[in-house]
Amino acid sequence: MLLLYLVTQIPLNTKKHRWKLASFTCSFGSLKEQKAGYLILDLLANYPAKDLAQKRYGEHEFDKYLPIRFITEKINRESLFTIHINSEDEFHGNKFQKSFWDKVHSTDSAISISAPTSVGKSFIAKKWIKYLLDLETNVEVNIAVLVPSRALINEFEADFKEMFHGETQKILISSSPHKSVFDQLYSKKIYIFTQERMNLFLSINKNTGFKGLFVDEAYKIADGSRGMLLEAVIDKLYNDNPDLKLVFASPHIENPEDIFYDCLPLKETTPLVCQNRFYLHENTEDDCFWDIERVTIQNEKIYIGRIQSPSNKKIKSNKAKLANFAHSLGSQSSGNIIFANDGYQAENIAEEISKLMPEVDDENDLDSDILDLIELCKDVVHPNFRLINFLKKNIGFHYGSLPQLIRVEIEKLFKAKKIKFLVCTSTLLEGVNLGCTNIFINNPGKGNQKKISSGDLLNLEGRAGRLGQEFQGNIFYIDWDNSSNEKKELTIKRATSNLIEAKFNEIIDLLETKKNIKSSNLDTEAIAGLVFNQFSPHSNLDNSKIIQSSLPANKIEKLNDVLREYKKKLSIPEILFAKYPITYHYSMQELYEYFKEEYSERPEDLLIEIKPIKKNANGKKENPTFVSINRALIRVGKFFKTSYGQNPKYHSLLSSNWITGYSLPFMVASTLTWNKNFNKDNSEFIALGEKKKKPKYSNSSRLQRY
C-alpha cells in the first residue's frame, strides 16, 4: 500500500511521470503494483487504458478492495468526465476530451486542436458530430468532414457506418460530390470529402447549408496548392454558413490558433499511451554488436547495453538493417510498422523480412482472411503481384499507389493482428489510423524529399502504442542519430499567407502580363488564381479575410488596381471563377479563345469518344478513344502546367484502356510483356510514349507501381 500512497501524491504537473509509472506497473508489476497502476489510470481519467487493465486482470476485481476514500473519488471523477451525447449515448471521456467538449459548447468561435494521435481526437470529434446531428428530432442537418486523402475518407466512412448501425434509414453518409435523387429521403447527412471533392460539391450543389465542419489533419493547410484550395473551401463554407460550428484537428502544432483566422486553441502534449524511444547503432569496436540507448523522460540518452547483430555480421544496407532488427525485435509480438521512404523501398524491405521468415509448408494452413486477400490481389492486380508471397508470411506493405481496395484490406488485417510486419510509406502520415506496438525508423523521408519534417516525425511516432490495446509502444531508431531527443512541434503558416507574401511581385507580374511567365510555377499560378477568385465577387479584396490577414493595406490596394485591369481581359463565364478557385484564369481564357477559333464549326470534336478498337480499310488497328483522349491532353498541356502534357501518349493509352473496360491485371500483364520484349520489338512499348527510353524499373518493380 506504500506504493499506492506514493503514486497518489505525485503532483499533477508531473502526469507524464504518473503515466510512465502506471504503464510499467500494469505491464510488469506484481498484483499490488498492478492495483496501484490501475488507480493512477483512474486518477488520470485514462479510461481506455483502465478498461484494458480490467480486461487483462479482471479476475482480481481491482475496484473491490479500494479504500472508501478512493471509491468516493472514483465515483465523483466518473461523474465529472461523463459526456452526454443524447438520451441513449454517454461515455467517460479523458481530460482532453472533456476539455474539448466544454470548450466547443461554450463558444461560437472555431476551435483548433493540437494533440498527439493517442489522445482520442477523432473519437471525440465523431461523437461531437453525432451530437450535432440531433438524432432525436427530424430537423434537417448537414455536416461536412474534410480530410486530405481517399484513405481517410474510407476510414471515416467505415467508422460512421459502424457508429450509426441501425439508424441508416435516417442518416446519409456520403463521399460522392454528386447528389443522388434519393438524398432527399434523409434528414441527416454527413459528407466526407477531400478539399477537391468539396470544391466540386459546392460548385454543383448550391445553397446546401451546413451546421458543422470538422477538418482532420488540418496542418495540411500549409501545403502548397492543396493547402490553398483547403483554405478557399473552408472560407466559402464559413462565409455561406454564418452559424457554422468549425473544428480543426492536427498533431503536434506549436500555434494551432493560426490554422485559420479567429481560432481558439486547445493543446494537449501528453499522449495517453506510454512511448519508449530507443537508439540502436553499430558498436564502434565490433560491428557484429549494436549499442542501445534509451531516451529518458528528461529527453536524455542513456546507454543500456548492447545486442548481437541479428545476422551475426556487419549489416550494410539500410533496408537490411530495418528488416533484420524488425524481425529480431518484433517477432514475438504483432503490430510492427517499418517506415519506408517510397513504395519501391517498401517492397524491398518487405522482401528482406520475408527472407528471414520460414517458408510456408502448406498454404491451406494460412488464415482464411489472408487467403482471401491473396485471391483479391490476384484478381485486382496480377497473379504474380509481389505482395502475395509476403502475405503468406504475415508481411504486408502499404503505399499510396496501391489499389484502394487492397490498402483497406491490408489495414483491416494489420489491425486484426493477422499481418505481423507492415512496411509503410508517408501515407501513414495522412491520418490513416494504424496504431502499432513497434515502429522501426531509419533516415525517414517523404517521397523524393531527403527527410521529413519534425512535425511529420512526431506524427509518425505517435502511432506507437494502441490506445485501449497496449499500455505502451516502442520506437526504434536504427542507425539514425539525427532525430532530436527534444521533439519540436510544427509551426504552421497557411500556404495562402506564406505564398502571397513570398511571391507578391511574381503574382503582380503574372496578372499584368497575363502569360505563364517562365519564373512562375504551379504554386504561383494557384495563388494568382485564388487572389482573383477572392476579388471577383465584389471587384475588390476589402471583404476577403484571406487577403486581409496576409497583406498590408498598400499591397492590397496595388492588387485591387491590377486585378481590375486583369478582369477586363477575361470573357470566360463568371460561374467558372468560383468553380476553379486556384486555377490561373487567364490560362482558361486562352483555352476558351482557342476553342472558339479551332472548334466553332465542329464543337463535337471537343468531346471524348468512347468507342471500341477497330480495323480501318488498310487492316490497321484504330483506337478512337485513345486518339480523342490524347488530343484533349495535348490541348490541356498547351495552356496549363501539367505532367499530362509531357507524356500524353502514355496517359492516353492507360486512360483509354481503363475507360473501354480493360482490367488492371490486363494492363499490368501488358506492361510486363512490353518490358520483356523491349529489346526485340519497340513498337508496342513506344505506344506508351517512351520511345528510345529504357524502362526505369525491372518487370517486378514496375508491377508494384500498379
Shared domain check, 672 and 573: no
Residue 16: pLDDT band with limits 50, 70, 90: low
Shared domain check, 60 and 154: no
Number of domains comprising the chain: 5
Shared domain check, 456 and 319: yes
Is residue 519 pLDDT above 60, yes or no? no
Highest mean pLDDT among 34-43, 165-174, 550-559: 550-559
Whether the model pTM is above 0.75 = yes
**Cell of residue 153, nine digits:** 475518407
Shared domain check, 556 and 454: no
Shared domain check, 546 and 450: no
Shared domain check, 503 and 378: no
- The answer to whether residue 485 sits within a structural domain is no
pLDDT at res. 557: 94
Which of 131-140, 243-252, 456-465 has the weakest average pLDDT?
Answer: 456-465
Which of 155-159, 361-365, 688-692 has the weakest average pLDDT?
Answer: 688-692
The b/e string for 590-611 (b: 16+ C-beta within 10 A; e otherwise) is bbbeeeeeeeeeeeeeeeeeee
Domain final residue pick, 80, 98, 132: 80
pLDDT at res. 59: 55
**Which one has a higher pLDDT value, 689 or 349?**
349
Check if the beta carbon of residue 338 is closer than 8 Å to that of residue 424. yes
pLDDT at res. 686: 31
User: What mean pLDDT value characterizes the chain?
Assistant: 83
Is residue 424 pLDDT above 70, yes or no? yes
Q: What is the CATH number of the domain that holds 95?
A: 3.40.50.300
Residue 366: pLDDT band with limits 50, 70, 90: very high
Residue 403's identity, in one-letter code, is P
- The answer to whether residue 379 sits within a structural domain is yes
- The answer to whether residue 483 sits within a structural domain is no
- The answer to whether residue 489 sits within a structural domain is no
Residue 677's alpha-carbon distances to 36, 460, 587, 680, 686, in angstroms, are: 69, 42, 41, 5, 12
Domain final residue pick, 535, 569, 599: 599
Check if the beta carbon of residue 444 is closer than 8 Å to that of residue 338. no
- The answer to whether residue 370 sits within a structural domain is yes
Overall average pLDDT of the 675-701 stretch: 40
Residue 452's identity, in one-letter code, is I
pLDDT at res. 476: 94
- The answer to whether residue 486 sits within a structural domain is no
Shared domain check, 425 and 319: yes
Tens of pLDDT along 324-363? 999 999 988 889 999 998 888 999 999 999 999 998 888 8
pLDDT at res. 315: 86
Shared domain check, 626 and 577: no
- The answer to whether residue 239 sits within a structural domain is yes
Which of 10-14, 25-29, 365-369, 640-644 has the weakest average pLDDT?
Answer: 10-14
Residues in Cβ contact with 505 at an 8 Å cutoff, skipping those fewer than 6 apart: none
**Which one has a higher pLDDT value, 138 or 166?**
138
Query: Rounded to an integer, what distance in angstroms lies between the CA atom of residue 249 and that of residue 426?
Result: 19
Check if the beta carbon of residue 263 is closer than 8 Å to that of residue 8. no
Shared domain check, 279 and 167: no
Helical segments of 298-403, H only: 318-330, 343-356, 368-380, 386-391
Shared domain check, 613 and 509: no
Shared domain check, 159 and 30: no
Is residue 484 pLDDT above 60, yes or no? no
pLDDT at res. 449: 61
pLDDT at res. 453: 72
- The answer to whether residue 488 sits within a structural domain is no
**Which one has a higher pLDDT value, 235 or 61?**
235
Domain final residue pick, 54, 80, 106: 80
Shared domain check, 93 and 51: no
| Segments of 207-300 assigned E as strands | 212-215, 245-250, 263-267, 274-282, 289-295
pLDDT at res. 486: 58
Query: Rounded to an integer, what distance in angstroms lies between the CA atom of residue 627 and that of residue 46?
Result: 61
The range of the structural domain enclosing residue 618 comes to: 603-704
pLDDT at res. 554: 94
Backbone angles phi, psi at 346, to 5 degrees: -60, -45
pLDDT at res. 10: 44
